[in-house]
Structure 1
Amino acid sequence: MRFKDKTVIITGAGSGIGRAAARLFAEEGAQVVASDLSESVHETVAGLGGAVALQMDAGDEADVERLVATACERFGGLDVFFANAGISGGASGIFDSSVDLWAEVLRVNLIGPALAIKHAGPRIVERGGGTILCTASVAGLRSGAGGPAYSASKAGVINLVQTAAQQLSTSNVRVNAICPGLIETGMTQRAFDYAREMGKEDKLGRLNPLRRAGAPEEIARVALFLASDEASYVNGQAWVVDGGLSSSHPVTRQEFGKPAF
């Protein structure tokens, strides 16, 4: 019960990492406010006791203000904000991407977490401290893991948490990012479904040393740790959870127990 009597907001909780996190935080005693643009967020909180579901746009300032206000009015304050909502923006290259696509990806993926920090930070300070988590991506570390707009937005998230950690100095509010690799979520579901239809599910995640894709729960467990007092000295960091994908530049990978060439 690491989060007993703690209030936790999770965006993008209608599926995938956000849904898994909502359930894990609730199991640890948290008062969860789960939000998503999709009505599926109501399914997430079903069976989670007093958890609250709210449909909202994570990149809209009025909606973020309403989300924080709802959590504080319902539970008396805020301890953790997990800014997890995001969109992929598709696979268009730099020369094929419209300004509108770039604007929308940056609005949700980067401005959204900035709004979370702006409006949640002061309320968490009022509680004497807590945690803000943002979902970034291995695509924010280097090229090759996402489209240009998505990758740039996630690189921005990594710098954002570093900057926010500095600006929240002495407040006892820690700000960190999680950088998932290939995870089966609502955003990647089409690729997973296609691979299964083609009988190639075993090819998913084959570029990392574990040779598999990750599960939402594997990211949610890291979020749970980073938000807990067990991570009390972790601040301004980007934690990579990718099966080892980012440990190497792309190469012809060696098979375990076999010569490299």
Structure 2
Amino acid sequence: MKIATFNINGIKARLPRLLEWLEETRPAVACLQEIKTQDEGFPADEFEKIGYQAIWHGQKSFNGVAILADGTKPVEVQRGLGGEPEDDHSRYIEADVFGVRVACIYLPNGNPQPGPKFDYKLRWMERLRARMREIAAEEVPAIVTGDFNVIPHDCDVWSVPAMASDALMQPESRDAYFRLMGDGWADALATLNPAGGVWTYWDYQAGAWQRDHGFRIDHALLSPELADRLKAAGVDKDHRAREKASDHAPVWFEFEKG
């Protein structure tokens, strides 16, 4: 079973590329971030034409997450994170699909830092940790995947000095990420690529793609019940090179059947 994550950076602008990727690679589950559309604007019918059903949590012009499944509809468990009732960002959706609990996240960027956006990022990560602890207590096969906006290790970025002041690489961001793993979750891509050097994002600016100046911010954290079934993981890097592509590449994970 293949589960993938893809920050699409605007589902309407990238729809042809997204449909192309789905048909070429056919993940059983695809988690999308930055769909950047209100709920009523989500193109569910386009996915149904190629056999995918979806649930989504949209927001006008910003954020937004969705879970697509091949041949079945994900059973929604939760949308949004508790802890800040006034928080209206669409950044979290969770469902049961194919016997796996799937949480799709778009974690706050946090720039500029220091400041209120960075403080919000760290609070959001604590709220995520609380929800992940609740999922772990259920002892189900589970994956929390998406754009974490965290570069966990120095080997996950093309140049440490170039990103040293960015919110993605601050000690507080990394510590919050490592606390999630300290609760028993495994970083799937890092498990299979311990030396690093695997990028999932290349900025549109300064020729980052052409110069391979990228970094890893799209992750999947696995519960012990699913981590034992991990077979392979990779990045569909060629899709980043296509016309009108997202600045992220899709990332996928393959698992043995439960």
TM-score bracket, normalised by the shorter chain, equals: 0.3 to 0.5
Normalising by structure 2, report the TM-score: 0.46
Q: Which has the higher helix share?
A: 1
Q: Which has the higher strand share?
A: 2
Normalized against structure 1, the TM-score is what? 0.46
